[in-house]
Amino acid sequence: MLAAKGYGELSEAHLNVLSHIDAGGTRSVALAGRLNLTKQSVGDLVAELVALGYVTRTPDPTDKRAAIIRYSKRGLGFLKDAFEIKTKIEAEYSKILGKDEMERFFSNARMLVDNRSTPPRGWRGRRRQVGITRTA
């Protein structure tokens, strides 16, 4: 669905990075911690996202050694489109399962993640991971 909207060049790793950037921007080091990846790996993924036009990287005014990653106009457009797709998928599933079963589905998914001995790559806490957050 994302490819049909023009986002076919994004890999799963890119999507993971994009889902962990805060609205006001996020330091590269914080992204590495959230994603459970090395700073080098995150730096490489961010460089690719900058080249693709989804994010910008600017020096942190409080620490010139650090960089702040922010969504570009294209990145914000991607977020809007991804949210619309996610909402449509949830609506389709809700029609099939019904409201109570959808609630149970989200509850069970959160329980599985919360009770892992080690968090999955990219997990940042309850209701934050793309695909687990309930919109309605």
Which of the two residues, 115 and 58, has the higher pLDDT score?
A: 58
- pLDDT tens profile 29-87: 999 999 989 999 999 999 999 999 999 999 999 988 889 999 999 999 999 999 999 99
Alpha-carbon dihedral 131, 132, 134, 135, rounded to 10 degrees: -30
pLDDT tens-digit readout, 81-108: 999 999 999 999 999 999 999 999 999 9
Q: The whole model's pTM is what?
A: 0.76
CB distance 90 to 102 below 8 Å: yes
Contact between 55 and 69 under an 8 Å Cβ cutoff? The reply is yes
Give the residue among 54, 16, 21 at the shortest CA–CA distance from 36.
16
- Rounded-to-integer distance, Cα 22 and Cα 36, Å: 17
Note the CATH number of domain 3-74: 1.10.10.10
